[in-house]
Amino acid sequence: MYDVNEVRKDFPILSRTVYGKPLIYLDNGATTQKPRCVVDSIADEYYSVNANVHRGVHFLSQQATELHEAARETVRRFVHAGSVSEIVFTRGTTESINLVASSFVCSQMKAGDEVIVSVMEHHSNIVPWQLQAERYGIVLKVIPMNDKGELLLDEYARLFSERTKLVAVTHVSNVLGTVNPVKRMIEMAHGYGVPVLVDGAQSIPHIPVDVQELDADFYVFSGHKVYGPTGMGVLYGKEKWLDRLPPYQGGGEMIQKVTFEKTTFNELPFKFEAGTPDYIGSTALAKALDYVSAIGMDQIAAYEHELTCYAMRRLKEIPDMRIFGEADQKGSVISFLVGNIHHFDMGTLLDRLGIAVRTGHHCAEPLMDRLGIEGTVRVSFALYNTKDEIDILAQGIERVVEMFC
Ligand code: PLP
């Protein structure tokens, strides 16, 4: 196991205080903190290499292009894609899903065709499909779950019809922590000849992912949730699918030849990357992926699993604690409510103790409806959190409970 105290030294922000208390950052599901190597990469590239990529014959442009394309190779290796042409840079998970929704629905679906999503999706894997539904008359079907927060695979199987054209499902729930059996779900979908998009926003930072092993058709994630920069994301798509989809946006970079009569498009992945890409961000994302790879995704997964089990035990000792999401396969996210204390009050008072948690519906309102609640308090761990921090969290919750008694 890696030395968490050594790792923490790589994250300068973790040594700051909030309201005079040491910061305890437990909002990693929203975004992770950045190691020095990622922040340095941004400054270094601006200071010493900055030039627009792909277009210049001059030295800096070529060097920036090499860094940008090397970053694509780093991403390819990280998710074990077969080719760099299957790695499209986007602004994040949200944009990746919007890209697929926009290009897939208009080219592969007709009115009355169906997309299957699950009840535990983040809004960014619901609303893009609804926008297309309004435009093209497609239909959304929803996989239900049991009270532990596990998707019901029998019900899932029953949702398929000859009109099903795509499944879009999250790998790990950002509210319940459930690690969905996406490999099995993909196998089932492929049995009906249906491709699958996996939302990897909450899996990529925490567990090893091999897109070929999963046989995912599309796999999407955000850089900022895996210790990388904001505004940087990835769409992995099988070449056979990306080839079939029309461009998402038009502009420079994505074209081969433009005339007023007709435009032809660039090869993959550039067909989907209109305009100047975030080449500074791509290098920084690659640094982040190299950083977690050096620690080892298996090690990170094992360490976070231990943290989560410990936190579940500690939180369950608190009277009137209600935890939402007790799946057998659970990632490092815990959502809870205590007694009648409003999640917002709990979050605000924990904040005063230096403990950053998230409160509210977590961009998963349909899931909140299924749970019959308005919102939860959510703690989400990263590779740098410690059991000591969990003890302070548990004591903090107990203090808040006392204040309400
Ligand atoms: N999907 C899941 C499961 C998420 O947790 C999030 C963000 O919290 C997103 C999608 C959206 O990610 P982003 O805002 O980085 O595009």
Please provide residue 309's backbone torsions phi and psi, each rounded to the nearest 5 degrees. -60, -40
pLDDT of residue 291: 98
Ligand 1 atom at minimum distance from 124 CA: 10
Residue-wise DSSP of 3-32: -HHHHHTT-GGGG-EETTEE-EE-BTTT--
The residues near 405 (Cβ < 8 Å, ≥ 6 apart) are none
Average pLDDT, rounded, for the chain: 98
Q: Which of 37, 309, 363, 405 is catalytic?
A: 363
Ligand 1 atom at minimum distance from 199 CA: 1
Average pLDDT over residues 304-310: 98
Residue 55 pLDDT greater than 90, yes or no: no
Residue 267 pLDDT greater than 90, yes or no: yes
> What confidence tier does 56 reach under pLDDT thresholds 50, 70, 90?
confident
pLDDT of residue 1: 87
Segment 205-254, tens digit of pLDDT: 999 999 999 999 999 999 999 999 999 999 999 999 999 999 999 999 89
Segment 164-217, tens digit of pLDDT: 999 999 999 999 999 999 999 999 999 999 999 999 999 999 999 999 999 999
Q: At what angle do helices 297-316 and 279-295 cross, to 10 degrees?
A: 80
- Cα(95) to centroid of ligand 1, in Å? 10
Segment 91-128, tens digit of pLDDT: 999 999 999 999 999 999 999 999 999 999 999 999 99
Segment 335-378, tens digit of pLDDT: 999 999 999 999 999 999 999 999 999 999 999 999 999 999 99
Radius of gyration of the chain (CA): 22
Active site (annotated) includes residue 309: no
- Cα(201) to centroid of ligand 1, in Å? 5
Residue 405 pLDDT greater than 90, yes or no: no
pLDDT of residue 356: 98
CA distances from 24 to 8, 355, 373, 382 (A): 12, 5, 27, 11
